[in-house]
């Protein structure tokens, strides 16, 4: 998408209108050129999406008591959805110990992870980005070092933190030197939630910092000089200049991370396996697949809608201009940059 | 130009055709697989494939060689899956759903048999396909039986034992109360008393059912109906919760899986440990083990005598879609032959399913825990044999985990277990 938004506008058309300058032949050629791509997208995105939605309206296979064999369930209507949303297992409310009963717990804990870790990541990421944006000796080294956690696969990160958070692990050893009792990091309701947040923040703050850094580097230095001449304090410079100017890349970064955490799976699956009430929505989907495919389709459709709705809110009201339209384009440059942070990074002098 | 456009159009159309063909192929496999093809190929012979989880002890190669040298026209090809049980399960499901004839004989965990059998994916071992099971340990055969029909051949078994410290405890406890009585010894030595695997995972289900069974509960009755809502089951959970609260069971035990609990025992931090036989060799040979020569095994304690272990292990089953079922059946007989079972024990420490091997003098000398293990398996209760096992284990894990921490009373926990199992249809 960044390729589309950053394509330079043709010098002549100040008010571009659709199809202006294209004759019918060119239109057809254009259509044919994008056709393979569209077809490819249809096969790998649209077909599975609609298939999943279609499956979610069918009943899971039930057992025929006479033969002891499973039989196909047939049409389910919306019962797979009411199962999750209204907590109905057949006629009764889902008893504790069924996956259905865990839906709202999983929803809240996923939202909790999202809000808390994205919040911490924004603060830390901003701070890291400001450090990396300064001119000092060994800046290249610091940038590389900050990137390391992002380069490690999540599953490996989760295993590393699993050792750190083991009962006899280093986290409890360190805590005991300052007189704190050892915690059950993978089972205690609060400790387990924070274990996941700590590991997630550790891993993804570099990503946040990179995107913000890309935005920071596009703020021209003379704006700061002007502020200095006007006698602005450091805080004023930050709130009146830096923040508004990096707002767009910042919002894009927040959007990406929010969508990421909403479908968090590998970290809690490996670190706690749901201990201490840390089963996320995606973990619930995977568990459900093993016991009922159609019901799992319904749940993943719900998760998909939740994520799509969140993305919509961000783009509509949060100013995360991911799909920017040329006519309204005022902050085109910063919005285009985060799509390719590495390139933005590489072009800065002295990096 | 026109020609080029024409060419492109042809290409596009071709790409479309390929894509449609791909889609058609992709949805070919999702019509359930409930149809029975069990009778086809009953007498046919030919090359087969044996699928099992990752082989960590190098048993598969020699096994296949031995079979192939005596069956040159019906050679077996071995396919190894990952070492994670969940992934093995999902791999089998995918191949069964696709009715893949290249998975002839598959190794299944004891708890998957009923599910696969009910889906119609396994060949029933009866009539022409019958497999003699005389001399097998009875619980292993029971776990392979669904709807009164044998569906798999038990190939290896597993039963839990009580590891205890011989330097601190002279005679191992026979009953649960005796064991709690010995907890003062642990306290004097600054160690924890007893632990099993109480984390929220499959091992938690094994441990919880052991405790409920020990107090006389039945998780499901013989027809597979849940009967766990009973005073006996509640008493089992209450014993665990009370002693977790009092500290006889250390608080970190709810984070323990097999390996963490083994590490605690090997570090000398535990007086009693409930675990599987694999710990025996590691604890006596590991360099870091602090309990070398200072521990032994006993049957799990019960209320008034030996307790009941949960049955573990694997079975081999014949896919309903196999083309060479006669060869596959011979292969099952080969896998369960006393000779092969003995090799598995010697080379891979896999507990045999054949009773007589446990009294083999040379083996007992090498593996002193064998007699205890035999008693453990002979008294073992298999986890519920039900096609809804994923839901049943979820119901047990969740409620047991809440009960041991005191978040829920034992009575409420078994009540919820029962209704959660009922909601699953099992």
User: pLDDT, tens digit, for every residue of A39-54?
Assistant: 999 999 999 999 999 9
Q: Give percent of chain B with pLDDT exceeding 70.
A: 90
A251: left (phi over 0), alpha (psi -120 to 50) or beta: alpha
B198-210: string of b/e by CB count within 10 Å (b at 16+)?
Answer: bbbbbbbbbbbbb
Comparing B15-158+311-378 with B161-309+385-424, is the CATH topology the same?
yes
Of residues B57 and B11, more confidence is placed in B57
Q: Is the pLDDT of residue A123 over 60?
A: yes
Chain A CB within 8 Å of residue B9 CB: yes
Nearest-Cα distance to chain A for B365, in Å, is: 36
Distance CA A5, CA A332 (A): 8
Distance CA A250, CA A320 (A): 8
Q: What is the pLDDT of residues A13-41, one digit of tens each?
A: 444 445 556 677 788 898 999 999 999 99
Pick from A184-188, B8-12, B70-74, B398-402: least confident? B8-12
Give residue limits of the domains in chain B: 15-158+311-378, 161-309+385-424
Tokens matching residue A323: 């799909």
Tokens matching residue B308: 């009941």
Q: What is the pLDDT of residues B28-37, one digit of tens each?
A: 333 333 344 4
CA atoms within 13 A of residue A274's CA, in its CB half-sphere: 23
Q: Over chain B, what is the mean pLDDT?
A: 87
Q: Is the pLDDT of residue B23 over 90?
A: no
Chain B CB within 8 Å of residue A30 CB: no
**Do A168 and B396 lie within an 8 Å CB cutoff?**
no
The SS3 of residue A287 is helix
- A 213-232 residues with CB < 8 A to B: none
Predicted ipTM > 0.90: no
Nearest-Cα distance to chain A for B13, in Å, is: 9
Chain A CB within 8 Å of residue B257 CB: no
CA neighbor of B229 nearest in space, from B207, B212, B214: B212
Q: What residues are paired with B337 via a beta bridge?
A: none
CA neighbor of B335 nearest in space, from B317, B356, B312, B360: B317
Chain B residues with CB-CB distance to A291 below 8 A = 388, 390-391, 394, 424
Chain A CB within 8 Å of residue B8 CB: yes
Phi, psi dihedral angles at B155 (to 5 degrees) = -110, -30
Q: Is the pLDDT of residue A309 over 60?
A: yes
Chain A CB within 8 Å of residue B160 CB: no
Does domain B15-158+311-378 fall under CATH 1.10.579.10? My reply is no
Of residues B419 and A344, more confidence is placed in B419
Distance CA A183, CA A166 (A): 9
The SS3 of residue A231 is coil
- The torsion of the CA quartet B118, B123, B128, B129, rounded to 10 degrees, works out to -110
Nearest-Cα distance to chain A for B390, in Å, is: 6
CATH code assigned to A100-153+193-343: 1.10.3720.10
Chain A residues with CB-CB distance to B22 below 8 A = 43
Distance CA A285, CA A293 (A): 9
**Do A99 and B255 lie within an 8 Å CB cutoff?**
no
pLDDT of residue A25: 79
- Confidence bin at A124 (pLDDT 50/70/90): very high
**Do B200 and A69 lie within an 8 Å CB cutoff?**
no
Q: Is the pLDDT of residue A298 over 70?
A: yes
Chain B CB within 8 Å of residue A49 CB: no
Pick from A281-285, B2-6, B392-396: least confident? B2-6
Mutation target vs A (from B111, B394, B409, B415; most A CBs, 10 A cutoff): B394
Nearest to B252 among A47, A167, A273 (CB): A167
pTM of structure: 0.79
Nearest-Cα distance to chain A for B93, in Å, is: 9
- Chains A, B: CB contacts within 8 A come to 126
Distance CA B383, CA B205 (A): 8
Q: What is the pLDDT of residues A192-242, one digit of tens each?
A: 999 999 999 999 999 999 999 999 998 888 898 999 899 989 899 899 889
Distance CA B133, CA B154 (A): 9
pLDDT of residue B26: 39
Angle at B186 between CA B185 and CA B191, to 5 degrees: 155
Contacts of A111 (CB under 8 A, 6+ apart): A262
Nearest to A96 among B19, B23, B399 (CB): B399
**Do A32 and B89 lie within an 8 Å CB cutoff?**
no
CA neighbor of B357 nearest in space, from B136, B162, B140: B136
Q: What is the pLDDT of residues B111-136, one digit of tens each?
A: 999 999 999 999 999 988 999 999 99
Chain B residues with CB-CB distance to A186 below 8 A = 199, 255
Q: A227 with A315: CB under 8 angstroms? A: no
Mutation target vs A (from B112, B219, B414, B419; most A CBs, 10 A cutoff): B419
Looking at chain A, the number of H-run helices and the number of E-run strands are 17, 4
Distance CA B77, CA B194 (A): 45
Q: A276 with A188: CB under 8 angstroms? A: yes
Distance CA B186, CA B358 (A): 32
Q: Which residue has the tokens 């330079």?
A: A8
Chain A residues with CB-CB distance to B408 below 8 A = 96
- A 159-218 residues with CB < 8 A to B: 166-168, 182, 184-187
Q: B315 with B110: CB under 8 angstroms? A: yes
Chain A residues with CB-CB distance to B9 below 8 A = 32
pLDDT of residue B40: 59
Q: A189 with A274: CB under 8 angstroms? A: no
The SS3 of residue A98 is strand
- B 288-347 residues with CB < 8 A to A: none
Give residue limits of the domains in chain A: 100-153+193-343
Nearest CA in chain A to B423: A89
pLDDT of residue A143: 87
Tokens matching residue B415: 């009540």
Kind and range of the H or E run holding A133: helix A103-133
Q: Is the pLDDT of residue A7 over 50?
A: no
Q: Is the pLDDT of residue B18 over 50?
A: no
pLDDT of residue B290: 94
Q: How much is the average pLDDT of A75-88?
A: 88
Nearest-Cα distance to chain B for A279, in Å, is: 11
Q: B388 with A291: CB under 8 angstroms? A: yes
Distance CA B348, CA B283 (A): 16
Q: How much is the average pLDDT of B316-334?
A: 95
Q: Is the pLDDT of residue B13 over 60?
A: no
Neighbours of B231 (CB within 10 A): 14
Q: Is the pLDDT of residue A338 over 60?
A: no
Tokens matching residue A222: 């003379």
Q: A306 with A282: CB under 8 angstroms? A: no
The SS3 of residue A279 is coil
Q: Which residue has the tokens 């894509």?
A: B19
Q: What is the pLDDT of residues A257-294, one digit of tens each?
A: 999 999 999 999 999 888 888 999 999 999 898 888 89
Phi, psi dihedral angles at B255 (to 5 degrees) = -105, 0
Distance CA A54, CA B264 (A): 50
**Do B416 and A68 lie within an 8 Å CB cutoff?**
no
Neighbours of B401 (CB within 10 A): 25
Nearest to A43 among B8, B23, B90 (CB): B23
Label each residue of chain B as H, E or C: CHHHHHHHHHHHHHHHHHHHHHHHHHHCCCCCCCCCCCCCCCCCCCCEEEEECCCCCCCHHHHHHHHHHHCCCCCEEEEECCCCHHHHHHHHHHHHHCCCCCCCEEEEEHHHHHHHHHCCCECCCCHHHCCCCCCECHHHHHHCEECCEECCEEEEEECCEEEEECCCCCCCCCEHHHHHHCHHHHHHCCCEEEECCCCCCHHHHHHHHHHHHHCCCCCECCCCCECCCCHHHHHHHHHHHHHHHHCCCCHHHHHCCHHHHHHHHHCCCEEEEEECCHHHHHHHHCCCCCCCCCEEEECCEECCCECCCECEEEEEEEECCCCCHHHHHHHHHHHCCHHHHHHHHHHHCCECCEHHHHHCHHHHHHCCCHHHHHHHHHCCECCCCCCCHHHHHHHHHHHHHHHHCCCCCHHHHHHHHHHHHHHHCC
- Confidence bin at A349 (pLDDT 50/70/90): very low
Does domain B161-309+385-424 fall under CATH 3.90.1300.10? My reply is no
- Confidence bin at A72 (pLDDT 50/70/90): confident
**Do B252 and A72 lie within an 8 Å CB cutoff?**
no
Q: How much is the average pLDDT of B325-345?
A: 94
Which long-range contacts does A223-231 make (Cβ < 8 Å, 24+ apart)?
none
pLDDT of residue B1: 42
- Confidence bin at B76 (pLDDT 50/70/90): very high
Pick from A70-74, A80-84, B11-15: least confident? B11-15
Q: What residues are paired with B302 via a beta bridge?
A: B175
């Amino acid at each position: 998408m960044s390729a589309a938004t950053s394509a330079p506008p043709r010098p002549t058309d100040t008010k571009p209108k659709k199809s202006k300058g294209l004759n019918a032949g060119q239109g057809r050629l254009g259509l044919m050129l994008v056709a393979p791509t569209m077809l490819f997208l249809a096969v790998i995105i649209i077909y599975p999406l609609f298939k999943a939605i279609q499956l979610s309206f069918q009943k899971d296979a039930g057992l025929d008591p006479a033969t002891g064999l499973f039989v196909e369930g047939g049409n389910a209507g919306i019962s797979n959805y009411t199962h999750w949303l209204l907590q109905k297992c057949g006629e009764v409310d889902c008893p504790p110990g069924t996956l259905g009963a865990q839906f709202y717990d999983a929803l809240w804990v996923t939202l909790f992870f999202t809000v808390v870790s994205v919040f911490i990541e924004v603060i830390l990421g901003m701070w890291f980005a400001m450090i990396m944006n300064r001119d000092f000796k060994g800046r290249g080294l610091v940038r590389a070092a900050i990137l390391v956690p992002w380069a490690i696969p999540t599953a490996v990160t989760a295993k590393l933190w699993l050792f750190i958070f083991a009962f006899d692990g280093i986290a409890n050893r360190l805590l005991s030197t300052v007189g704190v009792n050892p915690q059950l990091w993978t089972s205690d309701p609060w400790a387990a939630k924070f274990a996941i947040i700590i590991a997630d923040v550790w891993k993804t703050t570099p990503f946040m910092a990179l995107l913000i850094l890309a935005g920071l580097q596009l703020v021209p230095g003379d704006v700061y000089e002007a502020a200095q001449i006007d006698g602005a304090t450091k805080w004023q410079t930050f709130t009146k200049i830096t923040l508004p100017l990096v707002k767009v890349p910042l919002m894009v970064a927040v959007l990406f991370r929010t969508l990421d955490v909403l479908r968090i799976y590998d970290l809690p699956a490996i670190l706690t396996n749901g201990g201490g009430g840390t089963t996320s929505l995606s973990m619930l989907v995977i568990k459900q697949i093993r016991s009922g495919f159609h019901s799992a389709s319904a749940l993943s459709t719900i998760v998909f809608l939740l994520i799509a709705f969140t993305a919509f809110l961000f783009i509509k009201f949060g100013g995360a201009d991911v799909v920017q339209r040329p006519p309204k384009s005022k902050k085109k440059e910063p919005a285009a940059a985060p799509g390719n942070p590495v390139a933005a990074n590489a072009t800065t002098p002295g990096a | 130009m026109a020609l080029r456009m024409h060419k492109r159009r042809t290409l596009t159309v071709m790409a479309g055709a390929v894509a449609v063909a791909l889609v058609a192929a992709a949805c070919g496999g999702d019509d359930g697989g409930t149809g029975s093809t069990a009778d086809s190929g009953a007498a046919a012979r030919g090359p087969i494939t044996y699928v099992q989880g990752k082989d960590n002890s190098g048993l598969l190669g020699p096994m296949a060689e031995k079979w192939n040298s005596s069956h040159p026209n019906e050679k077996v090809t071995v396919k190894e899956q990952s070492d994670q049980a969940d992934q093995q399960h999902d791999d089998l499901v995918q191949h069964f759903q696709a009715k893949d004839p290249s998975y002839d004989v598959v190794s299944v965990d004891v708890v998957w048999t009923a599910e696969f059998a009910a889906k119609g994916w396994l060949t029933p071992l009866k009539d022409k396909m019958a497999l003699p099971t005389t001399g097998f340990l009875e619980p292993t055969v029971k776990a392979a039986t669904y709807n009164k029909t044998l569906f798999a051949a038990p190939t290896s078994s597993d039963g839990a034992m009580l590891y205890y410290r011989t330097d601190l405890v002279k005679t191992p406890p026979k009953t649960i109360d005796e064991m709690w009585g010995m907890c003062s010894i642990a306290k004097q030595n600054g160690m924890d008393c007893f632990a099993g695997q109480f984390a929220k995972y499959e091992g938690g289900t094994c441990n919880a059912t052991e405790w409920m069974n020990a107090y006389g509960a039945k998780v499901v009755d013989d027809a597979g109906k849940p009967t766990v809502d009973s005073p006996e089951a509640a008493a089992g959970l209450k014993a665990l919760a009370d002693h977790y609260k009092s500290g006889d069971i250390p608080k970190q035990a709810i984070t323990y899986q097999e390996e963490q609990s083994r590490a605690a025992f090997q570090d000398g931090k535990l007086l009693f440990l409930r675990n599987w036989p694999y710990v025996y060799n590691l604890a006596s040979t590991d360099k870091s083990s602090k309990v070398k020569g200072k521990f032994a095994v006993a049957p799990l304690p019960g209320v008034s005598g030996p307790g009941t272990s949960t049955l573990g292990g694997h079975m081999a089953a014949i896919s309903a879609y196999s083309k060479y079922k006669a060869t596959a059946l011979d292969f099952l007989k080969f896998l369960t032959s006393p000779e092969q079972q003995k090799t598995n024990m010697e080379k891979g420490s896999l507990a045999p399913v054949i009773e007589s091997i446990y009294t083999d003098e040379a083996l007992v000398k090498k593996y002193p825990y064998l007699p205890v293990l035999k008693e453990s398996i002979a008294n073992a209760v298999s986890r519920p044999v039900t096609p809804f096992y994923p839901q049943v284990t979820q119901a047990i894990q969740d409620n047991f985990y809440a009960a041991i921490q005191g978040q829920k009373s034992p009575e409420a926990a078994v009540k919820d277990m029962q209704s959660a199992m009922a909601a699953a249809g099992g």
